[in-house]
Amino acid sequence: MTALDQIKADIEGNDVVLYMKGTKEMPQCGFSSRVAGVLNYMGVGFKDVNVLADAEIRQGIKDYSDWPTIPQLYVKGEFIGGCDIVTEMTLSGELDTLFETAGIAYDKEAAERIRAANS
């Protein structure tokens, strides 16, 4: 299986996938830590893919999305964005709407606490 085949299988086989540096339990960069932290805090179940463990996956996800940076969040097969976009969506409530529309379980009160802490 090629790296692109693996990426496609992960994205199509999981409702929420985060390509990141490190793991959701131990992020290896601040941007990955922020996105994983938001998802973890909001109680979102997601597959984490550590791009540091496989150079072909690390380059492959950039080619797949045509997006140059990591982390990258996918919801129901759709590329959502990186750290800045996920942060903006969290603070505006757009991420809540996305999860609700996609049927992804999350803790709405936790999302509201994030917004309250950043207002």
pLDDT band of residue 119 (cuts 50, 70, 90) is confident
Cα(44)–Cα(106) distance, integer angstroms = 5
Please tell me the predicted confidence (pLDDT) of residue 114. 96
Residue 29 is labelled as binding a ligand: yes
Domain containing residue 101: CATH number: 3.40.30.10
Specify the pLDDT at position 22: 98
Does residue 1 carry a pLDDT above 90?
no
Q: What are the pLDDT digits (tens) for 33-51?
A: 999 999 999 999 999 999 9
Per-residue pLDDT band for 79 (boundaries 50, 70, 90) equals very high
**Angle subtended by helix axes 108-117 and 94-102, to nearest 10:** 170
The tally of domains found in the chain comes to: 1
Report the pLDDT averaged over residues 106-119.
Answer: 95
User: Angle formed by the axes of helices 83-92 and 108-117, to 10°?
Assistant: 100
Which residue segment(s) compose the domain that 85 sits in?
A: 3-117
Query: Mind listing the pLDDT tens digit for each residue in 16-35?
Result: 999 999 999 999 999 999 99
Query: E strand or H helix at 112, and its extent?
Result: helix 108-117
* Structure confidence at residue 37 (pLDDT): 97
CA separation for the pair 77, 105 (Å, rounded)? 16
The helix or strand, by DSSP H or E, that contains position 49, with its residue range, turns out to be strand 47-50
